[in-house]
Amino acid sequence: MTLGETALDLAARLGHERVIVIHDPRSGLRSVIAIHSSALGPAVGGTRMRAYPSFDDAVSDALQLSRAMTYKTAYAGLAFGGAKAVIDADSARPDRRALLEAHARVVRELEGRFVTGGDMGVSIDDVRFMSQFSRAFEHAPAGAGPDASDLTAIGVMAGIDAAASRLGLELRGLSVAIQGVGEVGGRLARRLAAAGARLTLADVATGRAKAVAAETGADLVTPEEILGVVCDVLSPNAAGGVIDDRAREELRCRAICGAANNPLSSAEVGEELDRLGILYAPDFIASAGGVLSLLFEQGTLDAAGTVRRVERIRDDLLELFAAAAREGTPPFRLAERQVEAKLAAARSAG
């Protein structure tokens, strides 16, 4: 939110259809479900659990994340709109299941209009648990198919491969700095290491960082150092807003591609990256692997077909990079324009 702007002002500015704030005194749940757009179909977006400095920050994040989902599904060509749910609570809370249950019972009221799954702080097991209370929670039964985190990692890897290729490099020998090695970042690190990339990583959870570094042979740095690592590709896979004006000064990478949603603090930062010659793969394209799991969940594609579709993110990005270069536009600007045209066409048709 900009100074003096309320959450509702922000929702109006970003064009949300509906924002639901949940306060459940029995469980202590405080959450928000932000439906940004159903122009292309039922609104889809993960459920995130994270402790915010204030509930207003949680609402603001849900609003921006849900808008990013509208772009993600539209760009990927899915017949879904964009949404996101945020539970404002520490994901390690001992009573977290009570919160998830209370939240899922409200989600039930939105069945048919809202489809959701895991996200930061909400695991596949949590999604399975919540699916007892509402069919809006998409999950593959254990062992049935590709899991959303794995698909997200496969998609980011395809994006990194595209960025590398644009730089005249390949995955073997590519130096990649990974910020965040949780469900997605950890899987990405293992895949990149297997492909012969040289990794540097950091995570606010030091135990996790050490374990993944040991497993992948990566160099370990502190969370304060990761953005300034000299590398070919920087891969943000944690919170949003990390590439801000200050970070931009520190950057020593040639490209940025990760799973973090809304990694840029503003569009101006994105423009500046482009001026600096840093290739930025739009997050709503690179991180689409998770939501593409719906193709499997809903029976449109089988497991192998879904993986192939996610791997196609490489070609999508290569095409975008080339078109943007021809136009002299930052790739994220061109991709945004393409999405906005698609949404406008859907709105005028509907």
The HSE-up count of residue 181 (CA atoms within 13 Å, CB side) is 32
In the shown chain, the binding pattern of residues 181 to 220 toward ligand PHE, with x for contact by CB under 6 A and - for none, equals ----------------------------------------
Q: Which helix (H) or strand (E) holds 219?
A: strand 219-220
In the shown chain, the binding pattern of residues 244 to 273 toward ligand PHE, with x for contact by CB under 6 A and - for none, equals -----------------x------------
Q: Starting from the edge strand earliest in sequence, which strands make up the sheet with 175-179, in order?
A: 219-220, 198-202, 175-179, 233-236, 255-256, 279-280
Say which of 72, 84, 210, 342 is annotated catalytic: 84
Nearer to ligand PHE, 122 or 233 (CB): 122
Considering the complex, what minimum distance in angstroms separates the CB of residue 2 from ligand PHE?
24
The yes-or-no answer on residue 210 being catalytic is: no
> How far, in Å, CA of 25 to CA of 294, rounded?
33
> How far, in Å, CA of 335 to CA of 31, rounded?
31
> How far, in Å, CA of 60 to CA of 50, rounded?
13
Considering the complex, what minimum distance in angstroms separates the CB of residue 44 from ligand PHE?
5
> How far, in Å, CA of 81 to CA of 290, rounded?
15
Cβ proximity of 198 and 175 under 8 Å? yes
Nearer to ligand PHE, 38 or 287 (CB): 287
In the shown chain, the binding pattern of residues 39 to 78 toward ligand PHE, with x for contact by CB under 6 A and - for none, equals -----xxx-------------------------x------
Considering the complex, what minimum distance in angstroms separates the CB of residue 293 from ligand PHE?
5
Q: Is the dihedral of CA 176, 177, 181, 183 positive or negative?
A: negative
Nearer to ligand PHE, 81 or 117 (CB): 117
Nearer to ligand PHE, 136 or 256 (CB): 136
Which of 116, 175, 237, 262 contacts ligand PHE by CB under 6 A?
116
Given the rule CB under 6 A, which of 100-108, 114-122, 167-175, 196-204 is the region that contacts ligand PHE? 114-122
Counting Cβ atoms within 10 Å, is residue 105 exposed (0-12), middle (13-18) or buried (19+)? middle
Considering the complex, what minimum distance in angstroms separates the CB of residue 148 from ligand PHE?
4
Token pair for residue 323?
Answer: 């078109």
> How far, in Å, CA of 244 to CA of 14, rounded?
20
Helices and strands, counts by H and E, the chain? 14, 12
In the shown chain, the binding pattern of residues 72 to 111 toward ligand PHE, with x for contact by CB under 6 A and - for none, equals x---------------------------------------
Nearer to ligand PHE, 20 or 323 (CB): 20
Cβ proximity of 29 and 23 under 8 Å? yes
Which of 10, 63, 148, 233 contacts ligand PHE by CB under 6 A?
148
* Paired strand residues for 315: none
Nearer to ligand PHE, 122 or 221 (CB): 122
Counting Cβ atoms within 10 Å, is residue 57 exposed (0-12), middle (13-18) or buried (19+)? middle
Q: Reduce the DSSP state of residue 22 to 3 states and report it.
A: strand
> How far, in Å, CA of 332 to CA of 338, rounded?
10
Which of 61, 138, 150, 336 contacts ligand PHE by CB under 6 A?
138
Q: Does 117 bind ligand PHE (CB under 6 A)?
A: yes
Which of 61, 119, 150, 274 contacts ligand PHE by CB under 6 A?
119
Which of 134, 200, 293, 306 contacts ligand PHE by CB under 6 A?
293
Count of residues near ligand PHE by CB under 6 A: 15
* Chain residues that interact with ligand PHE, rule: CB under 6 A: 44-46, 72, 116-119, 138, 148, 261, 287, 290-291, 293
Residues serving a catalytic function are 84
